[in-house]
Structure 1
Amino acid sequence: MSTQPVDRRADEFFRALQRRDSSYEGIFVVGVRTTGIFCRPTCPARKPLRGNVEFFPSAHEALYAGFRPCLRCKPMNVGREVPALVEKLRRMVEEGQSDPLRERDLLRMGIEPSTARRQFQKYFGMSFHAYQRARRMGSALAAVRKGRNLLDTQLAHGFESSSGFREAFAKLFGTVPSKANGVHCLFARWIETPLGAILALANDSGLYVLDWVDRRGLEREILRLRHKTKFAIVPGDHVVLGQAAQEIGEYFAGERAAFTLPFAPRGTDFQRRVWDALLEIPPGETRSYAEIARQIGAPKAVRAVARANGDNFRGIVIPCHRVIGSDGSLTGYGGGLARKKWLLEHERSLVSRAA
């Protein structure tokens, strides 16, 4: 967490608070003098007046100042807490993918289906029904690839009719179950961090995407990726995703400054040259777009370098946040300038502690 005095950025932080800007998660917490409570930037509670708030760079500093944590947004939790209902249903899906939970099943458990749908949509960006379907079909694909009989797979994954199974399979994967060996998937995982959630997409070729779930352009990039590769995207586990979660966790814990993740081949030749140059920027240092352009032998392609930097979509691990303007300004960053500033200060702190 940055230790820079926050009073210089109080107006910026208050505007972020009014917008409930998720890119400021982990950057500050706000204390409300009239209630004695401190909150996250995204707290859903009614927003206080400007003169009644005080900003802190961490929850601990707010506690030391005499504020108590908000019970609604729970600012003491690192990252975003998984709602209890979402985690309960997710575990039930993982433990029994062959038995889809329908609305009547949820009602028998005392769960309102609309609540489950709304909470899943808010946390995962898809409804509970869509999550179940994706996991069931991903599991079915794995079973067919391992040589399991199609009828057995159909019945084991909750499909009573062969036509229903074929239709659902083809809708997600673009082909019939008998051609499963030709299907390619990207597995998706959300990774929680102190600055907000990150979406990771990977398969046996390596990491395709690792970026903030709220960054502008991410949804459009995923659609482009699906169109170009013809890959289906399903939630699930993969060794690359596990490695990504571990290394990102170590990075934010101050235990890692460099990454060893395998990258899937992506981008044009020019983009790859830019991304390779980004990987050569040491933690704790920055380079300008013009310096990157000269490094790759294209000194006049500064704007093209900036575009390639923005098209990275494997943030942090390919450190596009280490590129700044020639005048030293932070310039743009898809995850928001507040995050970019935090990451640079975090890495400088890592380097200074290691020295």
Structure 2
Amino acid sequence: MSLEVALRHDFGPFGLDIAFSVDRPGITALFGPSGSGKSTTISAIAGLLRPDAGRIVVNGRVLLDTERGIVLPPRRRRLGYVFQDARLFPHLSVRSNLLFGWKRAGRPASRAEIDHLVELLGIGALLGRRPGMLSGGERQRVALGRALLTAPEAVLLDEPLSALDHARKQEIMPYLERLRDEARMPMLYVSHAIDEVTRLADHMILLDGGRVAAAGSVSEVMARLDLFPLTGRFEAGAVLETVVGRHDPADALSELEFAGGSLVVPLVDAPPGARIRARVRARDVMLALHEPRDISANNILQVEVAGIRLDEGAFADVQLACGATRLVARVTRRSVERLGLRPGLRIVAIIKAVTVDRRSLSPMGEPPAG
């Protein structure tokens, strides 16, 4: 399961010149500020834009090779596409919208596969309704189902949550997580919201000015200080892949273990050994030279300063090594001077808050039953 992309296109004042590959199922985020080339890239992959030069290969099948004169039209690319707005047929029921995609599949899904997808997306109760009777989140779930029933080799999601308010985003997120964990195909997810990326994506490709600024796992990219202006200061921080160690039902707490330490969080609904994604924002990390006493924080970690990036303003970003794991703290420049922070210095990190991903996987990497 692979997607290979190399594109060049000149828009005059803006030029796109990128190359990247996705070699595994799951969600790869295409992230960057407005005007970085995200939507242009996904439009070229879908066949809605013909670049000046490029090559696109999905699972060894060439969709575009300008040097060889190969340009497959969108209908022959076997890609599922979910737009910002659902673009459902308003005169058709949800069932008929889904079957529209099914009828155009090279290998139509069986009834059992259709039923499983309907259950996966939680749209069974909506089948008889028309799009005008659905919420924004419900429409996007139906759009996902229609795209998947075309039996695509890859799925392109072009900011599918951008038109939704916060409540509707929270409604659809768990379905996207389930889809990510069960679908065995590459999914390219375009977004400018870093909280969506850190929750949903396993890998990310960071674009800036029509170029690839960085590519790698979400945890690797998010921990790099040099990328903070691009990854967003408010949501910037570390993404940790953890394993549930044990539960303390009496205090309603769970312990999450990671390479280098552990975190105590509110009780999570996952068995010991399950893998859980946790996110620690840079703004939620305090630093001290010595371990504090009589403090309410449950998470106090021994760390080493790995790097410091001074902001143009009052703040500084400090990269911290906690074993093999990298954390990031945002403090004032005055704090850096007052504490004498420098690479190699052993200090203490106090974690004020941890955001836990709702996804949980069993020790074997499969979604838990039920």
TM over 0.5: no
Q: Which has the higher strand share?
A: 2
Length-normalised TM-score, structure 2: 0.26
Q: Which has the higher helix share?
A: 1
Structure with higher RCO (Cα < 8 A, 6+ apart): 2
